[in-house]
Amino acid sequence: MEYNIEKINLIAQKVAEVVKEAIEEEGQEQTLIGDVEMAMREGLRNIGQQAMKCFLEAADGEAEAEIECACGGKLKYQRWRKATIWSVFDKVVYRRAYYAGCACGKGYAPVDRRYGIEPGKVTAGLAHLIALSGIHKAFEDGRKWLKEYLLFEVSENTVRAETQKMGELQRQADAQLITETQNEVSLQKREQSQTPAPDILYGSIDAAKVRIEPRDEKEKAVENRENWRDMKAGCWYEGEIVPKSQRSTRQKDKAQREGTVLRAKNKKYFCDIDKAEQFGKLLWATGCAVGADRARILVFICDGAVWIWNLIAHYFPTAIQIVDWYHAADRLKRVAEEAFSNLVERQAWLEGVTEDLWQGRVELVIEACQRLAKKSNLAKQSLAYYGDNIERMRYAQFRTAGYLIRKWRH
Alpha helix ranges (H) inside 181-243: 184-192, 217-221
Neighbours of 4 (CB within 10 A): 9
Q: Dihedral sign for Cα 159, 162, 166, 171, please.
A: positive
Confidence of residue 223 (pLDDT cuts 50, 70, 90): low
- For residue 226, the model assigns a pLDDT of 57
Q: With bands split at pLDDT 50, 70 and 90, how would you rate the model's confidence at 376?
A: very high
In angstroms, the Cα distances linking 124 to 121, 129, 175 are: 9, 9, 23
Report pLDDT digits (tens) over 77-136: 999 999 999 999 999 999 999 999 999 999 989 999 999 999 999 999 999 999 988 888
What average pLDDT does range 399-404 have in this prediction? Answer: 92
For residues 407 and 301, the answer to whether their CB atoms sit within 8 Å is yes
Average pLDDT in the chain: 89
% the chain with pLDDT above 90: 65
Q: What is the DSSP letter of 199?
A: S
pLDDT score recorded for residue 65: 93
Q: Which of 133, 170, 165 is nearest to 150 (CA)?
A: 133
Given pLDDT bands bounded at 50, 70 and 90, which one contains residue 2? confident
Q: What percent of the chain has pLDDT above 70? A: 94
Decide: 26 and 2 in contact? Cβ < 8 Å: no
What pLDDT score does 325 carry?
Answer: 95
Burial of 243 (0-12, 13-18, 19+ CB in 10 A): exposed
Q: Mapping DSSP to helix (H, G, I), strand (E, B) and coil, where does residue 293 land?
A: coil
In this prediction, residue 250 carries a pLDDT of 75
What was the pLDDT predicted at 73? 93
For residue 92, what are the CA distances in angstroms to 49, 57, 83, 108, 331?
Answer: 6, 11, 8, 19, 56
In the predicted structure, residue 260 carries a pLDDT above the cut 80: no
What whole-number distance in Å separates Cα of residue 70 and Cα of residue 66? 13
Q: How confident is the model at residue 406 (pLDDT cuts 50, 70, 90)?
A: confident
Confidence at residue 5, expressed as pLDDT on a 0 to 100 scale: 92
Alpha-carbon torsion, ordered 228, 232, 237, 242, to 10 deg? 40
pLDDT category at 219 given cuts 50, 70, 90 is low
Strand ranges (E), 242-391: 262-272, 297-302, 320-323
Provide the pLDDT confidence category of residue 193 given band limits of 50, 70 and 90: low
Q: Is the pLDDT of residue 410 over 50?
A: no
Name the 3-class secondary structure at 190.
helix
The mean-pLDDT minimum among 79-83, 183-187, 260-264 falls in 183-187
pLDDT-derived band at 204, boundaries 50, 70, 90 = very high
Tens of pLDDT along 46-69? 999 999 999 999 998 888 999 999
- How many Cβ atoms are within 10 Å of 275's Cβ, its own excluded? 11
Q: Where are the beta strands (DSSP E) in 35-141?
A: 66-68, 74-87, 90-100
Say whether pLDDT at 10 is over 70: yes
pLDDT digits (tens, 9 = 90+) for 263-297: 889 999 999 988 999 999 999 999 999 999 999 99
What pLDDT was estimated at residue 349? 97
Q: Per-residue pLDDT for 211 more than 60?
A: yes
- Strands 66-68 and 297-302, sheet pairing: unpaired
